[in-house]
Amino acid sequence: MYQKKNFFNAAEALSGIIKQTPLLWSKKLNETLGFNLYLKAECLQRTGSFKLRGAYYCMHQEFVTRGKRDIVAFSSGNHAQGVALAAKLQNVKATIVMPTDAPDSKINNTKALGANVIFYDRYNESREKIAEDFSNESGAFLIPAYDHFDVICGQGTVGMEAFHQMANIGQTVDRFYCPVGGGGLIAGSSSALNLFNPDVIIIGVEPESLNDTQKSFSSGKREIIKIQPDTLCDSLMAEMPGELTFRINQSQVSSIDTVTDQQVIDSMSLAFHEFGIIVEPGGAASLAAVLSAIKQKAVNPDENIVAVLSGGNISKERHRNLIN
C-alpha cells in the first residue's frame, strides 16, 4: 500500500513542524536488563505526543489538493491537541469532539491551542456521528484520529525516523514495540519499517482490558471491546480497530501483547527515574510489554529493541500520584 516515497514525502512536509524526537539509551539500564533497549520518546514531541505528525500531514495533503477550510476531529486528547496545533499553524479553525471524562489537562491544552471543544458522553453517544454531522453542516474537513491514508503515513514517520536514527549509529531495529489504540501509529510505523528492514519484528501493545486488536487478530475480523472506564490508558481507549489500520496491521504486525495497569505504572516510574521524562499511561504501554517480555525470556539478548513512548500528556500531580 505504501512506498518509501510516501514516508519521505511526509517527512519533508513535516520538516520544521515536528521535532525529531530522541532515541534514548541508558548503559546502566541495559546492563541491568541484559538487553539492548532504545526508547523513541514521542512524549517529547510538540503537543506531547506523536499525533501532530498525522494531523498536520493529513491537513497539508487536503489543502494542497482541495484548498484550505476549517477542521473538525474527534479525540480523547492527544489527537485533539495535534489537530488544534496543526490548524493553528495552517491558520484555520478547529473544532474537536471530546469525551466529558477526558483528562482536564488534555481538554485545557486543546482549548489553549485555540480549538473549540464539543463534549459528548463516550458511553452513550457516537463521537463519529457528532463530528460527521458537524462536518456536513459546516463544510469542515473531518480528520480521523487514525483511519485515514495520510494520517497513517504521517504517523509512520515515527518508524522511519527510528530506523534512520539506529542506522546512524550502525545498528538495526530488530524488534519494535508500539502502543495500539485505533492502530494508526503502528500501521504507519510498521509499514515504514518493513520497507526498510523486512526482517523487523513488530509488536503492538494494548491494555489488558482493551485488547480489541489482539482479539481481532485471533478471529481475523474486527472485534469490539466495550470501553472500560477504569483503565489508566485513556489514550488507547478505542473500542475497535480502524478498518484501514486493521487491514494494514494484519499484514505488517507480528503479534499483539497486552499489559496491566500496574505494569504500565512501573514503566512510567522507570522512564521518570532512569531518563527524567514524564510518560502518560498509554504512552508507557510499549515499555511495559518489553519489560514483561524480558522477564519471561521471550526476546533474544542480541536483538536491538526499540519501544515507542507515544505520549506524555498527564498532569504532574497525577503522574506523581501514580508512580508513588
* All domains of the chain in start order, with CATH: 4-50+150-323 (3.40.50.1100), 51-146 (3.40.50.1100)
Q: What is the mean pLDDT of the chain?
A: 96
How confident is the model over 168-182, as a mean pLDDT?
A: 97
Roughly what angle, to the nearest 10 degrees, separates helices 261-275 and 316-323? 110
Q: What is the C-alpha to C-alpha distance for residues 83 and 131, in angstroms, rounded to an integer?
A: 14
Point out the least confidently predicted range of 15-19, 100-104, 211-215: 100-104
pLDDT tens for each residue of 219-258: 999 999 987 667 899 899 888 999 999 999 999 999 999 9
Q: What is the pLDDT of residue 226?
A: 82
pTM listed for this prediction: 0.95
Q: What is the pLDDT of residue 229?
A: 64
How confident is the model over 296-302, as a mean pLDDT?
A: 93
How confident is the model over 23-50, as a mean pLDDT?
A: 97
CA dihedral 107, 260, 251, 193 (to 10 degrees): 70
Q: What is the C-alpha to C-alpha distance for residues 22 and 86, in angstroms, rounded to an integer?
A: 22
| DSSP string for 103-121 | -HHHHHHHHHTT-EEEEE-
Q: What is the C-alpha to C-alpha distance for residues 250 and 252, in angstroms, rounded to an integer?
A: 6
Looking at the DSSP bridge assignments, the partners of residue 203 are: 177, 255
Q: What is the C-alpha to C-alpha distance for residues 239 and 225, in angstroms, rounded to an integer?
A: 5
Q: What percent of the chain has pLDDT over 90?
A: 91
